[in-house]
Amino acid sequence: MEALTSLDSMQLSFKEHFGRESEYTFFSPGRVNLIGEHTDYNGGHVFPCAISLGTWALAARRSDDRLRFFSMNLPRMGVLEFPARGLVYRPDASWANYLLGVVRMLEDAGYVLQTGFDVQLCGNLPSGAGLSSSASIEVLMAVLLNELCGFGLDRITLVKLAQKAENEFVGMNCGIMDQFAVGMGKKDCAILLDCNTLQYRYSPLDLPEAAIVIVNTNKRHSLTSSGYNDRRRDCELALADLQKVRPLQALGELTPAEFDRLAGQITNPVARRRARHAVYENARTLEAVEALEAADLAKFGRLMDASHVSLRDDYEVSCRELDLLAELAWKHPGVIGARMTGGGFGGCTVNLVQKAAIPDFEQVLREEYTKNIGYAPSFYVASIADGAARLA
């Protein structure tokens, strides 16, 4: 985590702000989704992986029932203090609401904190970039409390509680993908997850001559105010129309051919486009994983490109900055595939790039993007990591 700080610096900061040494260290990754966007809450498939960028936490038990939090990324906010029980969302709590939500969801499930904690966070996930900084924090807190309080909850349960914290406490109506990837990540593997059943399997990312390059538009997105929840309502409207003529639990149950036969039942044309993306993107995801496992990177790349077009035209969650980065990538001879990743309205693209071409790829995109947008993008060559865990 060099670019961010060192663990020694974190220890010094912890002692400065809490007056004692920390006792435990945890790390929780971010995630990038290779394909399968806005399919998770539509009961479809996704194909994310955890990445080495993420969030570190130092923690120590308290003798009382107070929770005290400090973020090295937001030092001006100082130490934030809360009770360990009966928590409610507080606008003035800012980033700490992601932690408080997990504590409250555990309490509601019958797992009440009997002691307080001092917790200091430090992360190198760019905020608002669509790499799941909120899920990284939520799963981190869930894993930390589960281990230090001896709750004995399995990892899938922790993932669900972290998602519930974001849905019900923070108010972001996200699907399960982000928290699942952060909690269940496996080094050098992506996860094919059926969001309808939570059945999953790991797929090795064997890319001897290619690499995953994340490009950040540096245009911050804010999903709760950007229209994400509106997209979800559009899909629910489409599903309700389809359920009048066919028993369905989720859009992800339909094949593209089945959707095309039934699409006329969706009375709202906007909802019809949203549903078309969800159904076709689900099919693309399954096809893309098959291609990757057959070492057909060219086909995988074409499906990535098609995913972006659908997100741009049918789901309308792209933006000028994301479209420019995708279009520049498509023109580069070293790029196998490129698409926006995350909720959209800003954030990042994910690119499959030949390793030898990465320096030129970065130079061309940096120059053209800066010339057109007025500021530079940022680049990260992704290392695929394990899920959230306590560090030795």
Q: How many whole angstroms separate alpha carbon 92 and alpha carbon 114?
A: 25
Strand ranges for the chain from DSSP E: 24-33, 45-46, 48-61, 66-71, 80-83, 117-123, 189-194, 200-204, 210-216, 335-341, 348-354, 378-381, 389-391
Residue 305 in tokens = 């490109």
Residue 387 in tokens = 């899920």
Answer for the pair 229, 173: CB distance below 8 angstroms, yes or no.
yes
Q: Which of 142, 148, 134, 137 is nearest to 107 (CA)?
A: 142
Angle (CA) 280 282 285, round 5°: 110
Q: Which long-range contacts (CB under 8 A, 24 or more apart) does 372-375 make?
A: 372/324, 373/217, 373/320, 373/321, 373/324, 375/218
Cα 59 to Cα 13, 51, 136, distances in angstroms = 12, 23, 16
Active-site residue, from 118, 178, 194, 314? 178
Q: Is 178 a catalytic residue?
A: yes
Q: How many whole angstroms separate alpha carbon 27 and alpha carbon 140?
A: 7
Positions marked catalytic: 178
